[in-house]
């Protein structure tokens, strides 16, 4: 099984860049950035539970890395850089820690390396569990309205929050909840 992706070939010998979006995003998120590297081969991946990979279930980071590896092989991408934001950055760091073959380096934006104590993990598990239940049972517009009120998004304007809420509400709440639980910071090794 492989993840849904969009591939843009580059010039022979140029680096391959593999883009991994954040939670509730999809493969389109990185495309404006990737276009700046038009000479490079670019692969924009939909992570499990998102976009064209929404129906692909995972039990944890090991499953995500296995799917990532299968996807890279299917596109014959043997040497590459991983570029990830938030959840995508955490997936990239996990891939590096597991020694995924062909990895040349990482570019990570807003990716947390992991929680170092059990109390922080327990608090995060509780918080992510509450969010997962909301994603499963409430209208996504309401959930994302509240999601973007979290302190981490304090720099967003009201207009940006509204636009992100509208965009993210097109997702499937059940698959987002499953991915949130499977890849929570509470279960990520540090």
How far is residue 110 from each of residues 38, 65, 86, measured CA to CA in Å?
24, 19, 5
Residues 6+ apart with CB under 8 A from 160: none
Mean pLDDT of the chain: 97
d(CA 131, CA 176): 10
Each residue's pLDDT tens digit, 59-118: 999 999 999 999 999 999 999 999 999 999 999 999 999 999 999 999 999 999 999 999
The long-range contacts involving 144-147, CB below 8 angstroms and separated by at least 24 positions, are 144/24, 144/168, 144/169, 147/24
Q: What per-residue confidence (pLDDT) applies to 70? A: 98
How far is residue 160 from each of residues 21, 31, 86, measured CA to CA in Å?
18, 19, 18
Q: What mean pLDDT is predicted for residues 24-40? A: 96
d(CA 133, CA 80): 36
Q: What per-residue confidence (pLDDT) applies to 190? A: 77
Task: Please say whether the beta carbons of 144 and 165 come within 8 A.
Answer: yes
Q: What per-residue confidence (pLDDT) applies to 108? A: 98
Give the neighbor-by-neighbor strand order of the sheet with 41-45. 5-8, 41-45, 16-20, 80-85, 103-109
Whether the predicted pLDDT of 141 surpasses 90: yes
Q: Where residue 189 falls among pLDDT bands split at 50, 70, 90?
A: confident
Q: What per-residue confidence (pLDDT) applies to 121? A: 96
Residue closest to 186 by CA, chosen among 108, 98, 106, 117? 117
Each residue's pLDDT tens digit, 43-62: 999 999 999 999 999 999 99
**Length of the chain in terms of residues written:** 190
Tell me the domains of the chain and their CATH numbers.
5-109 (3.40.50.1820), 118-182 (no CATH)
Q: Where residue 182 falls among pLDDT bands split at 50, 70, 90?
A: very high
Task: Please say whether the beta carbons of 159 and 88 come within 8 A.
Answer: no
d(CA 68, CA 73): 9
Each residue's pLDDT tens digit, 116-140: 999 999 999 999 999 999 999 999 9
């Amino acid at each position: 099984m492989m993840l849904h992706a969009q591939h843009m070939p580059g010039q022979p010998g140029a680096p391959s860049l593999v883009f991994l979006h954040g939670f509730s995003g999809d493969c389109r998120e990185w495309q404006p950035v990737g276009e700046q590297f038009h000479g490079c081969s670019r692969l924009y991946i939909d992570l499990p539970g998102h976009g064209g990979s929404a129906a692909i279930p995972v039990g944890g980071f090991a499953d995500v890395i296995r799917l990532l590896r299968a996807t890279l092989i299917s596109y014959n991408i043997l040497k590459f850089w991983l570029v990830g934001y938030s959840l995508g950055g955490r997936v990239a760091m996990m891939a590096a820690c597991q020694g995924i073959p062909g990895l040349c380096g990482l570019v990570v934006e807003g990716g947390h390396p992991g929680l170092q104590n059990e109390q922080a993990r327990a608090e995060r598990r509780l918080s992510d569990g509450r969010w997962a239940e909301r994603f499963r049972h409430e209208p996504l517009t309401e959930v994302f309205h509240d999601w973007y009120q979290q302190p981490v998004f304090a720099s967003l304007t009201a207009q940006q929050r509204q636009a992100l809420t509208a965009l993210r509400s097109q997702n499937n709440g059940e698959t987002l909840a499953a991915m949130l639980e499977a890849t929570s910071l509470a279960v990520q090794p540090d």
